Amino acid sequence: MTEVVHTPRVFSGIQPSGGLTLGNYLGALKRFVEMQNSGIETLYCMVDLHAITVWQNPDDLRHATRELAAGFIASGLDPQKSILFNQSQVSAHAELAWVFNCVARMGWLNRMTQFKDKAGKNRENASVGLFSYPNLMASDILIYKATQVPVGDDQKQHLELTRDIAAKFNNDFGVDHFPITEPKIEGAATRVMSLRDGAKKMSKSDPSDASRINMTDDAETIAKKIRKAKTDPDGLPSEIEGLTDRAEAKNLVNIYAALADMSVEQVLAECGGKQFSEFKPMLSDLAVAKLSPISGEMARLMEDTSEIDRILGDGARKANAIAQPILEETYDIVGLIRSK
Ligand code: AMP
Ligand code: TRP
């Protein structure tokens, strides 16, 4: 087998299953922008086919997809530099996912913790799509032979599965077709926690709105949520060890560090000794300063959704031009006839 050197290419996706949160911004979007600006080829996708693995109201789904696109652009993704599109407009994602349904093993998917969390107690009633979700995610990445995938910490297991699928496909067919993708899980906020419970991830699907900061929250709401965020009675330590077993305190420091582009050590060197009554207003001022230009720009972009749809269509055409030849090559490897 010849060793293929795969060209660096970045792919990532976010589900339009609700509004963007600060967790999405710090864990994913901010990193997407950094990678775009580093000059590598980047593709970023609104994964609408993933969103429908749990029922979505069709009008809400359309709105959330456009708002997510607005959030991408407002955060600094430039449709001239990155390929921005919604997944369902590039049919190769779903087609390659079928091939991967035939490569991945039941046992692998049975181990996926996100499925267990999302399906909850009533697993018999979960959609088949929710179960095979990681195969579609592997397809999103490998249909572009993407080599790097920036995500938050919760996606680690899915990316390991993507690597397993690529390796099994290559091995089953004796080829070096798909790259073994590198996860990029980096920065001070790879896992932003709920503001109400330091043991739970901040999530767009948490029933409590006070648990998260939404990218569309106004300054007053952000300040109120941070003021009410759960903490312990102690002040900030000056060393990182002083945050051990203090999940809520640690979370607020991590958020501050990520927003300010500082390390946690730097934040503690500056703020060690302060009480939360002093640190929380600093954090909310910083959050408002960083987030309100983004939410303002999102609102402006949402005034003209036809322009957003145009950008998504344009991105889908570019994405399709990369994906289609890789799909054809894959079908050929598998032995599926393509009439010219
Ligand atoms: P999702 O909203 O589940 O589609 O997630 C989109 C991206 O945001 C993925 O890369 C997630 O890992 C990341 N993400 C979601 N929630 C958080 C969080 N609380 N902290 C850090 N990253 C997150
Ligand atoms: N599963 C990811 C999430 O819930 C979203 C996603 C779908 C994704 N396809 C992807 C992320 C491909 C990175 C690459 O957050």
pLDDT digits (tens, 9 = 90+) for 223-255: 999 999 999 999 999 999 999 999 999 999 999
pLDDT of residue 2: 61
pLDDT, residue 1, reads: 58
Dump pLDDT digits (tens) for 95-114: 999 999 999 999 999 999 99
pTM: 0.96
Would you call 201 a catalytic residue per the annotation? yes
User: CA 271, 276, 280 angle in degrees (round to 5)?
Assistant: 85
Atom of ligand 2 nearest to the CA of 137: 9
Cα 208 to ligand 1 centroid, rounded to whole Å: 17
- Separation CA 172–CA 165 (nearest Å): 10
Q: What is the dihedral of CA 60, 61, 65, 67, to 10 degrees?
A: 10
d(CA 21, ligand 1 centre) in Å: 8
pLDDT of residue 188: 87
Q: Any catalytic annotation for residue 204?
A: yes
What is the average per-residue pLDDT within 125-154? 98
- φ, ψ (nearest 5 deg) of residue 167: -65, -40
Distance 117 CA to ligand 1 centre (A): 15
Query: Is 10:41 a contact under the CB 8 Å cutoff?
Result: yes
pLDDT of residue 205: 87
Type of residue found at 155: Q
pLDDT digits (tens, 9 = 90+) for 261-303: 999 999 999 999 999 999 999 999 999 999 999 999 999 999 9
Cα gap 309→85, rounded to integer Å: 9
- Residue in the block written with tokens 């997510």: 68
Q: Are 138 and 166 in contact (CB under 8 A)?
A: yes
pLDDT at residue 3 tops 80: no
